[in-house]
Amino acid sequence: MRDLFRLFPLVRKQIVRQPLRSGLTLSGVAVAMFLFCAVEAMRAGVEQATRVTADDTVLVVYRENRYCPFTSRLPQYYGDRIEALPGVLSAVPMKIEVSNCRASLDVVTFRGVPEAAFLEHFVPGFTFVEGSVDDWRNHGGAALVGEALAIRRGVHAGDQLDAAGITVKVAGIIRSTEPQDENVAYTHLSFLQEVSQRGGTGGEVTQFQVKVDDPQKLEAIAQSIDAEFARDSDPTSTRPEKAFVAAAAGDVLEIVRFASWLGWGALAAVFALVANAIVLAVRDRVREHAILETVGFVPRQIGTLIVMEGTILGLLGGIVGAIGALILTQQRFSIGMEGLSIEIASDPSVVLSGLLLSVALGLGAGLVPALRASRRPIATSFRAV
């Protein structure tokens, strides 16, 4: 440990006084770590949105064989029949309108919900960043906008939000632990039904959000709902909410899984980059290391110098890359598809793991060159130059 303190000033001078070499290595590490953190943030968002947990109690009832809010139409009166089924606590009808049905990074999703159900089942889970629920209640064309969507679109309470041919007044900005709530605008159901009559009529909704009394019965109740409407003109497909998101986002999940390989590829690139930079630096400094040993540095200290340099470059590059990824995720991007949103989350654990990995890679990349340099006989080193 004492060696580290003694040698640090020397390592610092080597890094700072060779700005081109250090800068190139550092920027390479930073770009790779940015890619890794961004991809990992995306993966973390997907995981958070689709991980089914044992205490999930929410089902989503959709029109069978429909995969987009534009085409899923269910009669609103289904709600009463669903609520009558054993184990169902509530069935909230929901009209969904989206600005883009395909996968996109900037989808605006409107969710129309009945006022009473909204106040009872949704509002208690919200924290109001701006505005209030009263403003929403008092204005038929008002919307409560999720914070991520508000940041992305740059709107505040009192502004207007235009998307998908719908204009709403922003009555409040809400924060929620549910990723879906962060990326939608909640409107009155009747308002959304009225403004979005594309070949349909009022009394139609896109889906029902069903709350059950026992997480253990989730699958059984889903089957009983689908059985209830199997012979109706609009049969249903009911799944746990997280499974519904996972199914709707199937294509995106595949892409994210592939991207996560790219993230690991970026890490491998970091390793190769730092190792290459260190190998070249060590080769250039064969004579310098021989001088150090001539003036009394022991081989272990020479190895430590090399490993420290790799580790510091890895750490600095990792910090720059992680900051870049953090800035990106602060924009609250979300991948929207079929009315659902998966937020690219700025999870601190992703940043921390990225930093630890870049340090570990820098350290690992320096080990072999350090070992070789510390074992090379001095006389051979002087003869080599």
Partner 1 sequence: MSLIECRQLTKKYTRGDNEIIPLDELDLSIEAGAFLALMGPSGSGKTTLLNLIAGIDRPTAGELRVEGTDIARLSRSKLARWRSTHIGYIFQLYHLVPVLTAYENVELPLLIQPISRKERHARVAQALELAGIADRHDHYPRQLSGGQEQRVAIARSLVTDPPILLADEPTGDLDRASSKAILELLLRLNTELGKTLIIVTHDPTTTHYAKETLHLEKGRLVSEAPPALAAEVKSAGDGRGERDA
Alpha-carbon gap, residue 256 to 41, rounded angstroms: 10
123-157: buried (b, 16+ CB within 10 Å) or exposed (e) per residue?
eeebebbbbebebbeeeebbbbbbbbbbbbbebeb
* Minimum distance from residue 297 beta carbon to partner 1 (Å): 6
* Minimum distance from residue 154 beta carbon to partner 1 (Å): 48
SS3 label, residue 212: strand
71 Cα distance to chain centroid: 28
* Minimum distance from residue 301 beta carbon to partner 1 (Å): 6
End-to-end CA distance of the chain: 32
Q: Does 17 bind partner 1 (CB under 8 A)?
A: yes
* Minimum distance from residue 274 beta carbon to partner 1 (Å): 19
* Minimum distance from residue 26 beta carbon to partner 1 (Å): 17
The residue among 156 and 375 lying less far from partner 1, judged by its C-beta, is 375
Please, which of residues 97-116 interact with partner 1 by CB under 8 A?
A: none
CB 336 within 8 A of CB 246: no
Tokens representing 264 are 């690991």
Given the rule CB under 8 A, which of 46-54, 126-134, 183-191, 374-382 is the region that contacts partner 1? 374-382
**# residues near partner 1 by CB under 8 A:** 26
* Minimum distance from residue 18 beta carbon to partner 1 (Å): 6
Q: Does 6 bind partner 1 (CB under 8 A)?
A: yes
Q: Does 377 bind partner 1 (CB under 8 A)?
A: yes
The residue among 206 and 374 lying less far from partner 1, judged by its C-beta, is 374
Alpha-carbon gap, residue 374 to 273, rounded angstroms: 22
335 Cα distance to chain centroid: 9
In the numeric block, the tokens 């606590």 are attached to 89
Q: Does 379 bind partner 1 (CB under 8 A)?
A: yes
Q: Do strands 340-343 and 334-337 pair parallel, antiparallel, or not at all (unpaired)?
A: antiparallel
* Minimum distance from residue 20 beta carbon to partner 1 (Å): 12
* Cα–Cα–Cα angle for 45, 51, 52, rounded to 5 degrees: 155
Please report, as a single letter, which amino acid is at residue 357. L
In the numeric block, the tokens 């019965």 are attached to 217
* Minimum distance from residue 250 beta carbon to partner 1 (Å): 55
The residue among 18 and 223 lying less far from partner 1, judged by its C-beta, is 18
* Minimum distance from residue 175 beta carbon to partner 1 (Å): 51
CB 109 within 8 A of CB 96: yes
Please, which of residues 299-328 interact with partner 1 by CB under 8 A?
A: 299-301
Please, which of residues 272-291 interact with partner 1 by CB under 8 A?
A: 287-288, 291
Alpha-carbon gap, residue 155 to 212, rounded angstroms: 35
Among 331, 349, 382, 384, binds partner 1 (CB under 8 A): 382
Given the rule CB under 8 A, which of 129-137, 186-194, 296-304, 353-361 is the region that contacts partner 1? 296-304
* Minimum distance from residue 12 beta carbon to partner 1 (Å): 11
> Whats the size of the chain, residue-wise?
385
Alpha-carbon gap, residue 235 to 146, rounded angstroms: 31
The residue among 160 and 380 lying less far from partner 1, judged by its C-beta, is 380
The residue among 203 and 377 lying less far from partner 1, judged by its C-beta, is 377
Q: Does 9 bind partner 1 (CB under 8 A)?
A: yes
The residue among 257 and 287 lying less far from partner 1, judged by its C-beta, is 287
Positive or negative, the CA dihedral 173, 146, 352, 37 is negative
CB 146 within 8 A of CB 137: no
Given the rule CB under 8 A, which of 9-17, 81-89, 136-144, 199-207 is the region that contacts partner 1? 9-17
Ramachandran area for residue 235 (φ above 0: left; ψ -120 to 50: alpha; else beta): beta
The residue among 22 and 183 lying less far from partner 1, judged by its C-beta, is 22
The residue among 16 and 54 lying less far from partner 1, judged by its C-beta, is 16
Nearest-10 crossing angle of helices 348-375, 250-284: 30
* Footprint of partner 1 (CB under 8 A): 3, 6-7, 9-10, 13-14, 17-18, 287-288, 291-301, 377-379, 382
